[in-house]
Amino acid sequence: MKKVLLLCGSPRPEGNTAQVIRECAKVIADHGVEAETVSLAGTVIESCIACRTCAANGMCIIEDGLNEIIEKLRESDGFIVGSPVYFGTARGDVMAALQRIGMVSMASDNFLSRKVGGPIAVARRGGHTATIQEMLMFFLINDMIVPGSIYWNIVFGKEPGEAVRDEEGMRTVRRFAENVAFLVKRLD
Ligand SMILES: Cc1cc2nc3c(=O)[nH]c(=O)nc-3n(C[C@H](O)[C@H](O)[C@H](O)COP(=O)(O)O)c2cc1C
């Protein structure tokens, strides 16, 4: 069975990003693709220290839980990343995770190559598109395939529960999740 890994980058386990990612996981499962979600809530993800140890063993030397996520990602066909917007950009831990995941892939066996996915940005009011663009840099340099949707993958909400009431935002990310499932089922 094809599988999509979804990463929730918010520190709030029941926050807006978590609720948006949960809905995407449901859409993917409804389309006959396994959906597993991992969360950065309760973790602290350090930045890449450019040691290049990963070139030798395909793992990150920093032991903060990211290697477990990398293992799940290796077994997945798709990868969706949701981040809250912090001061107009993605949350720091999200970019730290993406940079280390990308470095491990690039320095070892390019395991990200041709995985299907993309970013989702969740915020109260502004900075969504810059955040999407920032996260896209990870997908596009790692030989990944990013489908579109009916709008950019941005959802509006401040207090937990508000984002899922953004009807257009949710319609957009549901279609995006559908497109990810559609593509992984067709790629071999
Ligand atoms: C440090 C910090 C910075 C924030 N910066 C922005 C911002 O630049 N633009 C915005 O619209 N919302 C901003 N917010 C609000 C969050 O993006 C918003 O509450 C979002 O729903 C949080 O997602 P979560 O519930 O998944 O944690 C910020 C929140 C925090 C904690």
Distance 170 CA to ligand 1 centre (A): 17
Q: Residue 156 forms beta bridges with which residues?
A: 123
Q: What is the mean pLDDT of the chain?
A: 98
Q: In this structure, are residues 173 and 153 in contact, taking their beta carbons and an 8 Å threshold? A: yes
| CATH code of the domain covering residue 119 | 3.40.50.360
Helix (H) or strand (E) holding 52: none
Distance 65 CA to ligand 1 centre (A): 24
Domain range for 113: 3-186
Distance 39 CA to ligand 1 centre (A): 17
Which of 23, 24, 81, 85 maximizes ligand 1 atoms within 8 Å of its Cβ, making it the mutation to test the pocket? 85
For residue 132, which amino acid is it? I
DSSP structure string for 90-128: E-HHHHHHHHHHHHHHHHTT-TTTT-EEEEEEEESSS-H
CA dihedral 26, 75, 17, 147 (to 10 degrees): -80
For residue 54, which amino acid is it? C
Read off the DSSP letter of residue 51.
-
Q: What residues flank ligand 1, with Cβ below 6 Å?
A: 10, 12, 15-17, 84-88, 122-127, 157-158, 160
Nearest atom in ligand 1 to the alpha carbon of residue 125 is: 11
Strand positions, DSSP E, the chain: 3-8, 34-39, 78-86, 89-90, 116-123, 154-156
Report the number of distinct structural domains present in the chain.
1
Give the predicted TM-score (pTM) of the model.
0.98
Distance 79 CA to ligand 1 centre (A): 22
Residue nearest to atom 14 of ligand 1 (CA): 86
Nearest atom in ligand 1 to the alpha carbon of residue 11 is: 27
**pLDDT value for 188:** 81
Which tens digit of pLDDT belongs to each residue from 14-72?
999 999 999 999 999 999 999 999 999 999 999 999 999 999 999 999 999 999 999 99
130, pLDDT greater than 90: yes
Residue nearest to atom 16 of ligand 1 (CA): 123
Closest CA to 120 of 149, 100, 145, 140: 149
Distance 29 CA to ligand 1 centre (A): 28
**pLDDT value for 87:** 98
